[in-house]
Amino acid sequence: MTKTKVRKTQTAGKATAKKQTKGVKIRFGSLPAARAPTQPFGTTELRPKINYTPWLLIRDADGDTGARPLPTGTVFWESPDVWVENNNGVNQPIVGQPNQVYARVTNLGWQYATGVTVKFWWADPSLAITENNATLIGTGFANIPSGWSVVVQCPYPWVPTKVNGGHECLIAEAYIPVFDPLVAPMDPVDDRHVGQKNEQVLTLASGESFTAKIKAMNVIGIPAALTLEVQPVRSTAVHPLLKSRTLHLSSHLQAPSSVLPLSLRFSNAPAVYTKPSTLFASRLLSLAKQEVAGKAADTISHTEVTHTAQFEPWESRMVEVSGRVPSNAKVGQSYAFRVVQRIGRMITGGYTVNVVVVKQ
């Protein structure tokens, strides 16, 4: 084959690849060069198994390599791969107006992933998200080359309701039927195909009081004691959720280095009852398998408030976490805390609240 023919073939191949990925936004990664299948993507420590098929992932955190189930105590509701955009910026939903939801999906397998289905959901702020309390926003599709990450846009806008001030939870599921299917729908603990963002940002003045409302729910079919924990977050770095919103917050944003005084109580709203769910039955089984294998371990976190209450099967109650920003807090100061729900040793879910001082 002459050089001219080779050049034409390479050009045609590039044009074909460009046509296949048209309309799909690539955020990072590049098509890897052909190589012998002896080394997986990344190091052998991170990815010990070579996957010759598509192997999709929506990360639960930076550095996530797709190993599931996640260790007990992992914060799985702060996925960096699920977010919303609008005129206010990133991760700042506007109530009553269209918001665009996105998911970043990575293909760590050796095979080109074609016909990837990406489902987008919203749910009320809850400490237990199931298939019964989530609402489908829309379904998108994408083709993802081996070793690439693609940003997929939900084809339909999401309009948050005023009931919760627009602070609903977002969930994305990316999979290929048959070839790389969902293993545990709606469950980021057991399934690398699922990403969840259950976070809220409050912009307040120094000295201002606030209340965050979240639903607590018994997700098993027998009466159970639910333990609710409020865990303050101290860090030397600004929370990732706030980094994406720095254009709309103070330019002097500071890391959450101090702790807010907080209290937890159940609201006066009547309890409601949901439908049975198979999701957490599967998670309990997964936790039991980890314990038998000697792999389960709780992440040690400082707890500021702990409250235990008895719930009937499938009972749901509204929880209110209240606090007050110090009167001497400076503009740009941030605070963060997580509300975590446990049934025994199983963490059913969590909710992260970031508080930012915007004026004195």
* Secondary structure (DSSP) of 23-73: T-EEEE--PPPP--TTS-SS-TTT--S--SS--EE--SSTT----SSPPTT
Is 72 or 154 the better-scoring residue by pLDDT?
154
Contact assessment for residue 127 and residue 339, using Cβ atoms and an 8 Å cutoff: yes
Q: Is residue 10 part of a domain?
A: no
Amino acid 5: pLDDT: 42
Q: Which class for 326: exposed (0-12), middle (13-18), buried (19 or more C-beta within 10 A)?
A: middle
Q: Which domain holds residue 304?
A: 22-359
Average pLDDT over residues 341-352: 89
Gap between the Cα atoms of 313 and 343, Å rounded: 12
Q: N- to C-terminal Cα distance for the chain?
A: 74
pLDDT in tens, 157-211: 998 876 655 567 899 999 999 999 999 899 999 999 999 999 988 889 999 999 9
Report the SS3 class of residue 10.
Answer: helix
- In total, how many domains does the chain have? 1
In the predicted model, is pLDDT for residue 23 greater than 50?
no
Amino acid 97: pLDDT: 86
Q: Is residue 13 part of a domain?
A: no
Please choose, from the candidates 206, 223, 213, 176, the residue with its C-alpha nearest in 3D space to the C-alpha of residue 326: 206
Report the SS3 class of residue 192.
Answer: coil
Mean of all residue pLDDT scores within the chain: 80
Q: Which residues of 116-155 are buried (b: 16+ CB within 10 A; e: fewer)?
A: bbbbbbbbbbbbbbbeebbeebeebebbbbbbbbbbbbbe
Q: Is residue 6 part of a domain?
A: no
Please choose, from the candidates 222, 250, 251, 217, the residue with its C-alpha nearest in 3D space to the C-alpha of residue 348: 217
**Total-model pTM:** 0.80
pLDDT in tens, 38-96: 333 333 334 446 778 999 999 999 999 999 988 888 899 999 999 998 877 667 788 88
- Torsion, Cα 278 284 287 293, to 10 degrees, reads -100
Is 124 or 293 the better-scoring residue by pLDDT?
124
Q: Is residue 17 part of a domain?
A: no
Q: Is residue 143 part of a domain?
A: yes
Q: Is residue 153 part of a domain?
A: yes
Q: Is residue 245 part of a domain?
A: yes
Q: Is residue 3 part of a domain?
A: no
In the predicted model, is pLDDT for residue 352 greater than 50?
yes
